[in-house]
Structure 1
Amino acid sequence: MTAEFPRAAALTSRFEILAETPSTNDVLVAAAGGSDGWPDLSVVVTDTQTAGKGRLGRSWQSPAGSALAVSVLVRADASLRIDALGWLPLAAGLAMTRAVRGALPARTDVSLKWPNDVLVGGRKVCGVLSELVVGATPSVVVGAGVNITMTEEQLPVPTATSLVLAGAEHPDPDALLEAYLREFFALLSAFRATGGDAQASGLQAAVTDACGTVGSRVSVELPGGTILAGVARGIDVSGRIVVQADGSADLTPVSAGDVTHLRPR
């Protein structure tokens, strides 16, 4: 790995740069339960991830040096209840949305897609995946992968994009990572200060404001294969997207599912 990260590293308690790894999440999950006691807010980063993990068991990889993969270790403590940990990937998604906006100041179409994608012009530039580590001190490893310099030919799917394709001429990985970590750690600090209360900390409102899913027509593939189609009306205090099904006045909270944004009818 050729990039250096002095500004990002200065924000963390432990910072490890890997030349290449199958998955930064796997590295940090193993470290979280290891004997050397990696501290809260430890970070692992690489620009060459060969077996990254996505939601619903999907796997992906990117050409060497074209994307940034970063994982953050968050230790649960008395200020962060177990039942509040589901907000961490949403907080990370919000933080990366803000960081990408900073890297693309001319774009007004950077948004968060519930629960954990960052979109530019409706195309995915970043995904977030969190994993719970059970142990004496429960922890969450929050991973994010953001496409930096990928060309159209290198994109994993046609609905993806990269910072360069979205208009960033010379993206600075250290500046992007610093912005992401600074935003994420600030959101986490406020969240912890309220005992993991998303409403009191302002996290629920901030995520809702940045979330392009809210107000959109969506199709949600629920666990088991059932399809829920309707309009996303908001995000509740548990971090669930609330959908008003077509032809119904009822609101259905969804905690897990594959969401597709649909064109308005």
Structure 2
Amino acid sequence: MSIWARSPPIYSGRLLIWSPRLPSTHDVVSQNFCEIPLGTVCVTDLQFKGRGRSKNVWESPPGCVMFSFTLEMEDGRKLPLLQYVVSLAITEAIKDVCRMQGLPELDVRIKWPNDLYLNGLKVGGILCTSTYRSKKFHVCAGVGLNLDNEKPTTCLNAALKEMISDSGQIKREDLVAAFFNKFENLFEVFSGQGFQALEELYYQTWLHSGQKVVIEEKNNGCVVNIAVIIQGLTPSGYLLATDEENKEFELHPDGNSFDFFKGLVRRKLE
């Protein structure tokens, strides 16, 4: 394992830990949070115990962008919204890299709550975990993104290959650097003004505005289907939806995010 430092790690990404093979970058930074400088990022070429939501295993072969980093937060009310800031930073970073290299823009979208999709197929995911200590939340944020593996679904560079005839490709190091440039700016806005200041940009990037969803409600032993339309996010970061009578519902994921619309837990907003 090698360590490279460019300058004091005041912001995320200033200190980089790299290894060709790790069980999980997330475990490295979370298990050593108090021993490494705040803002440290861990990058690997291959993970063999990658982590996803709900204890899912994330396949992480060579050809993926895989990194995790540390930060601190004091406001627990904002903590659930951090994964949306990370998701937004990676989609904006992809746009920046394509723009700077003269490549066609890839329309990578956010599938709530923490997946990244391209052309209807999953290409990445976000994982944020935290512990509370000394009146602060110690947060570990991780990003996994398929850059070069065309199977079993698709990847960013395969999509570019279909769009242009030359060999233009996104490089991992360019994408990681662009991510932290974006994340620093977005996190500063998020910390000072809250997620509302980023909502418009977020809604331009996610998949769900105006999406129709059927949720199930148990009533006196019977299951009733209710059709709702997703309107946005609630202040707590869950999905805000309305039915045909404009009654508002807060929708919570239940289990695997691949299937989250089938397992939504809902709460009527009074």
What TM-score results when the alignment is normalised by the length of structure 2?
A: 0.77
Match of 1:237, SS? Answer: coil
| Aligned equivalent of 2:145 | 146
- Alpha-carbon distance in 1 for matches of 2:22, 2:185: 28
| Aligned equivalent of 1:167 | 160
Q: Which runs of 5+ in 1 are unaligned?
A: none
| Aligned equivalent of 2:199 | 204
| Aligned equivalent of 2:248 | 251
User: Does the Cα contact within 8 Å between 2:13 and 2:69 map onto a contact in 1?
Assistant: no
Across the two proteins, how many residue pairs are aligned to each other? 238
Distance 1:180 1:228, change over 3 A: farther
- Alpha-carbon distance in 2 for matches of 1:18, 1:220: 44
User: Does the Cα contact within 8 Å between 1:96 and 1:118 map onto a contact in 2?
Assistant: no
Distance 1:208 1:236, change over 3 A: farther
User: Does the Cα contact within 8 Å between 1:112 and 1:211 map onto a contact in 2?
Assistant: yes
Deviations 1:152-182 (A, max 9, x none): 2xx2xxxx42112211542211111111111
Distance 1:237 1:134, change over 3 A: same
User: Does the Cα contact within 8 Å between 2:60 and 2:66 map onto a contact in 1?
Assistant: no
User: Does the Cα contact within 8 Å between 1:208 and 1:235 map onto a contact in 2?
Assistant: no
* Bigger share in strand: 2
Distance 1:12 1:218, change over 3 A: same
- Alpha-carbon distance in 2 for matches of 1:102, 1:198: 22
| Aligned equivalent of 1:26 | 27
Shift of 1:256: 3.1
Stretches (4+) displaced over 6 A: none
CA RMSD of aligned residues (A): 3.1
What TM-score results when the alignment is normalised by the length of structure 1?
A: 0.78
- Alpha-carbon distance in 2 for matches of 1:227, 1:18: 49
Structure of greater Rg: 2
- Alpha-carbon distance in 1 for matches of 2:72, 2:178: 21
Percent identity (aligned): 25
Shift of 1:248: 5.0
User: Does the Cα contact within 8 Å between 1:48 and 1:68 map onto a contact in 2?
Assistant: no
| Aligned equivalent of 2:56 | 58
- Alpha-carbon distance in 1 for matches of 2:186, 2:78: 13
Distance 1:176 1:108, change over 3 A: closer
